[in-house]
Amino acid sequence: MRSIRKLSTGAGMAVALCIGISQPVAAQTQDDGALAEVTVTAQRRSESLQRVPVAVSAFDTAAIDAHQVLTIRDVSNVVPNLWMETNTGLSSGSRAALRGVGEDESFFTSDPPVGIYVDDVYIPRQTGALFDLYDIERIEVLRGPQGTLYGRNTSAGAIKLVSVKPSQERRGMFELTGGDYGRFDARASISGGLTETLSGQLAVLSRQRDGYDRNLVNGARVNDQDIVSGRAALRFQPTAALDILLAYDQSRDRSTPGFATGVLLQPPGDLGPWNPREQYDGDTDVHTLRSDLVDPVNDLDQRGASLNIGWDIGAVALRSITAWRDLDNTIILDADGQDTCFGLALPCLHLFQDQTQDQFSQELQLQGKAFDGRLDYILGAYYFNESNWQRTENAILAPIGTNPYFDTSLDTDSIALFASATWAATDRLKLTAGLRWTEDSKEFASAVFDASGAAQQVCVSADRSEVYSAGACDAGSPAGAITDPLARRIDQSWSSVTPRAALDFQLTEDAMIYASVSKGFKSGAFDGRESSTALYTLQPIAPETTLSYEVGTKAEWLGRRLRTNLALFINEIDDLQGTGTNLATGTFTRFSVGDAETRGLELEVTAKPVEPLTITASLGLLDTKYTTINFDQMADCGPVGTGDTDLQLKFSPKVSSFLGASWRIPLPGLRGGLEIGGDWTHKSSYFHSSCNPVPSREDGYDLFNAQLAFETNDGRWRIAAAVRNLGDEDYSMGQFFIPGLGFDAIYFNPPRNWSLTARYTLH
C-alpha cells in the first residue's frame, strides 16, 4: 500500500491589508424598550439595516447566544431560504444553498455560489469553511447576488463574519461548557491597550466531544469533535485618521470524518423512500452503524494572516484588504455506511483525498462623498490568486491503496474592477448603481495512475481528438493510433460584467420600500473527479450566472417595538453547474445541468411587545424549477424513476420558518436576571439529488431548542443551561445513494444534547 502521508506545502507568513474597522452592532434593545438600531456593512459602508436596499439578516453577540449559534451552519436555522449543512463526510466542510442556488461539490475545481467572508477576506473552499464562532462580533447574511461589491462566486449571496477588534479598553472573556457525550469546550479572549497607540487581542477555542454515533464493528464512538483554534491581533492607531490591524489565526481539526448510517434499499425496485427503522445494522437507532472503516483519517490544518489598513484623507477614505491563507486536509471516509458489499468483505465505496490549498488576495478601495454629501461612492480593484492540489482515490470493491488514483491541480488568477454609487435624489428617494468587471484565468491539470504509481495510458487518434480505448494501443487498434498518458491540461479564461441597480424610497421615518435588479457570476469550472478515459478529452464547464429581481419593504412600528422586513424575488439562473452520480458505478460527473428559475418570499420579524419579552421570527417560501435541462432526463434519471417528472432544485425546501422567544425575569436580590428562551426551526421536504429520486428525499423536520440563563446586571457573569434538538428529531443532512452498488448511506443530524456554560466577562 502506498503512503498516504500528507504532502506539506510549507508554512508562509501572510500579510493581509483589510480596510476600515467595522462598527459594532448595537445592543438588542434600548433603555426606552424600543428595538435598537442594527448597523451592517452590506454595501461596504456602515449603515442602518433598515435603510439598506438589500435583503440582509444580521446577528450580534446577544442574538448568537440566544439562538445557540455555535458554527456558521447554525445561522441557517434562523435565516429564511437558507439551507446549510456539513459537507457530506467532512467534519469542517460547509455547503449552502440560498434562495435555491447552492453547491455540494467540495472538490476545488468547482466554486460555491454562496460566498463566505471573514473580516472581508474571501474563503473560496467548502473544506474548512464550517467556522466555529468564538471571536465574532456579528454575522451578516446577504441574500441574493452580490456580484458588484463582493465579486465572483456570490451569485446566490454572501455570509460575512466580523471579528471583534482590539481596542484600548481592557476586556476579557473566559468560558467553559460541559455537556453529554463527554463534551468540554473552552473559550477565552483578552484585549486591551499595550501603549497609547497600540492595542492587542488574543482569543483561543477548544471543542472536545465524544462521538454521538457508535460503530458496532469495533465499538468506537464516531462523529466526534476535536478542534483547537486561536487568533491574535494587533491594532495600531497613530492618528485619528489611520487605523492598522494585523491579525493571525490558526486552527487544527482532528475530528473523525463523517460516518453514515446505512439504510436498506426499499421496494418497489430498491427505489422506495428510505425508512430509518430498516437499517443495515439491523436495529432502529440511526446513531448506531456498521462500518468497515476502523482507522478513519481526517487531518485538517489551516491558517491565515491579515493586515487591515484604513486611512481617512479628508473627504475620502483609502482602504485596502490583503489576505493570505493556506489549508492542508487528508481524509479517508466510508461513503457506503456498510461493513460488507454484496456479502463480500470489501468496501462498496471508500474515499481517500489529500488536499493542499494556498491563496492570496489584494483589494483596494476608495470611498467618499460628493455634491454636499448627496453622492456616496466606492471605487475598487481586486486581485485573487489560488493554488490547489489533490490526490484522490475512489476505493470501489477494493481496499484503499490498491486502486488507481489521480492527481489534480488548479491554479487561479482573478482580477476585478468595480464601482458603486448612491445618489440622494431627494430627502426620501435614493438611487444606487454599480458595476463590476471580472476576469478569471484557470490552469487545470489532472493525470491518472495505477496503484503502483505508473501512469495510465489510452489509445487515441493521431490528432488526439478521439479516444479509442483504455490502455496502450495494440495490433487491433485503428491505423495511425498512438498511445498517450491518461491526462488532461486546460488553460481557460472567463470574464463577466455584473451590474446592480436599486431604488429606495423612505415612506416615513420608520418605513421604506425598495426595488433592485442585480447579476451574479460564478466562475467556470472543471470536472475534477473525472478519472475514466473521458478525462483525455475533458472540456471546461461554462460559468453560472444569476439575474435577480427583488422588491421589498423595511418598517418599524409601535414606537419601534416591532420590526418587519419583507422581500420578494425572482432569480433566473443560466448554466447551472451540478454534479451527477453514475448510479451503477458510483463515479461522479460534473457539467452544466441547465437553466433554472427560483422565486419566493422572505419575512423577518423582531418584536418587543412588553419589556421582558423579545420575539424573533422568519418565514421563507421558495419555488424552484428547471426552464432548460441539458441532459437526457429519461436516460439519466429514468433508472431512479424520475425520467418524466418535473424536477426541483436540490436543497430547496418550499417552506423554511423560525420562531424564537425569550423572557427576562429581573432578580434584584441576585443583581441580575433570568432569561428563559426557546425556538422552533422548520424546514419542509427537499432532495439531495438533482434527479430527485424518492430515496434521496428528506421529508422535512422540526427542531426545538431551549435555554435557561442567568446573567448579572453588569454583564460580568452568565450561566446558561441549554438543550438542542429537544424533540430528538432525526433527519438526513447528506446522503450517498447508489443502488448499482447496493447502498443508501445517510448522514444524520446530532441527537438531543444538553450543555451547561459558565462565562465571566471582564470589562
466-516: per-residue pLDDT in tens? 999 999 999 999 999 999 999 999 999 999 999 999 999 999 999 999 999
HSE-CB for 560 with a 13 A CA cutoff = 15
pTM for the predicted model, two decimal places: 0.93
Q: Is the separation of the CB atoms in 329 and 127 below 8 Å? A: yes
pLDDT at 11: 34
What is the C-alpha to C-alpha distance for residues 390 and 388, in angstroms, rounded to an integer? 7
Helix (H, G, I), strand (E, B) or coil at 670: helix
**Which whole number is the average pLDDT over 42-62?**
93
Q: Which amino acid is at 264?
A: L
Q: How confident is the model at residue 587 (pLDDT cuts 50, 70, 90)?
A: low
pLDDT at 532 over 60: yes
| Range with the poorest average pLDDT among 146-160, 161-175, 212-226, 569-583 | 569-583
Q: What is the pLDDT of residues 244-274, one digit of tens each?
A: 999 999 999 999 999 999 999 999 999 999 9
192 has which bridge partners?
Answer: 200
Quote the CATH superfamily of domain 39-762: TonB-dependent receptor, beta-barrel domain (2.40.170.20)
Give percent above pLDDT 70 in the chain. 95
Cα 632 to chain center, whole Å? 30
Q: How confident is the model at residue 679 (pLDDT cuts 50, 70, 90)?
A: very high
Q: Is the separation of the CB atoms in 43 and 52 below 8 Å? A: yes
pLDDT at 29 over 60: no
Q: How confident is the model at residue 73 (pLDDT cuts 50, 70, 90)?
A: very high
**Which whole number is the average pLDDT over 59-68?**
91
For residue 83, what is its C-alpha cell? 439551507
β-strands 242-253, 261-263 pairing:
unpaired
Q: What is the pLDDT of residues 588-629, one digit of tens each?
A: 678 899 999 999 999 999 999 998 999 999 999 999 999 999
Output phi, psi for 323, to 5 deg.
Answer: -150, 145
- Show the CA angle centred on residue 615, arms to residues 609 and 620, nearest 5°: 130
What is the C-alpha to C-alpha distance for residues 390 and 446, in angstroms, rounded to an integer? 9
Helix (H, G, I), strand (E, B) or coil at 148: coil
The residue extents of the domains of the chain are 39-762
| Average pLDDT value over all residues in the chain | 92
**Which whole number is the average pLDDT over 557-569?**
97
pLDDT at 3: 39
Q: Is the separation of the CB atoms in 601 and 654 below 8 Å? A: no
In the DSSP assignment, the letter for residue 125 is -
Q: How confident is the model at residue 134 (pLDDT cuts 50, 70, 90)?
A: confident
What is the C-alpha to C-alpha distance for residues 664 and 761, in angstroms, rounded to an integer? 20
pLDDT at 323: 97
What letters, b where the CB count within 10 A reaches 16 and e where it falls short, cover 209-232? bbbbbbbeeeebbbbbbbbebbbb
Q: How confident is the model at residue 583 (pLDDT cuts 50, 70, 90)?
A: low
Nearest to 677 by CA among 66, 260, 172: 66
pLDDT at 48 over 60: yes
580 has which bridge partners?
Answer: 589
